[in-house]
Amino acid sequence: MGRVVDDASSVEFHAFFERHYAELSRLAHLLTGEADAADDLAADALLALWHRWDRVRAADHPVAYARGVVANLARTKIRSAVRERRRVALFWSQREEKTENPDVAGVVDVQAALRRLPFRKRACVVLRHAFDLSEKDTALALGISVGTVKSQTSKGMAELQRLLGTQQAPLKVHATAMARTGHAEGRNR
């Protein structure tokens, strides 16, 4: 970050790190229930403390401050996991997945092209065209603005058209999704 830290601060932080890292990691593990994420959360918390070390070491209870940082990071991780589970549940709704004479080659091509899109563009395209969600519902599901949904969907569809070599990418995405979910009717906006 470009700031100069004196040797005494560095030594003091290193000692703090050695004394409290295991405790902070254990706290993160108990808060999140994820052993794998605990070390990362403790390290992220200590990195945040290092960037504010002058203020932290001047605090009355630096360890309490560190515990608070771990708790906040754990809360953010848990909220993120909950949002992700909701998104996954939306994608895997309880629909019948039977279709007569599916265009297997088309499905494979569209799925491969979708995998090449960055996640946000892919999510917008899938929610809008395969799940027939409105822009507002897509924004709500992804936690982004309606304007972002519009731009990411547009850019995603343009990239799909380029990847699939057709001007009919929206129809292919929709037809592939309908073949997969067993719906034969058209889109309802």
Mean pLDDT calculated for residue range 60-74 = 86
Is residue 78 predicted with pLDDT exceeding 90?
Answer: no
Mean pLDDT of the chain: 79
Q: Which range, of 35-49, 57-71, 149-163, 167-181, averages the lowest pLDDT?
A: 167-181
How far, in Å, CA of 139 to CA of 119, rounded? 14
More confident residue, 29 or 176: 29
State the pLDDT at residue 34.
Answer: 84
> What is the token pair recorded at 130?
């395969």
Q: Tell me the whole-structure pTM to 2 decimals.
A: 0.46
- The pLDDT score that the predictor gives to residue 57 is 81
Whether the per-residue pLDDT at 145 is higher than 50: the answer is yes
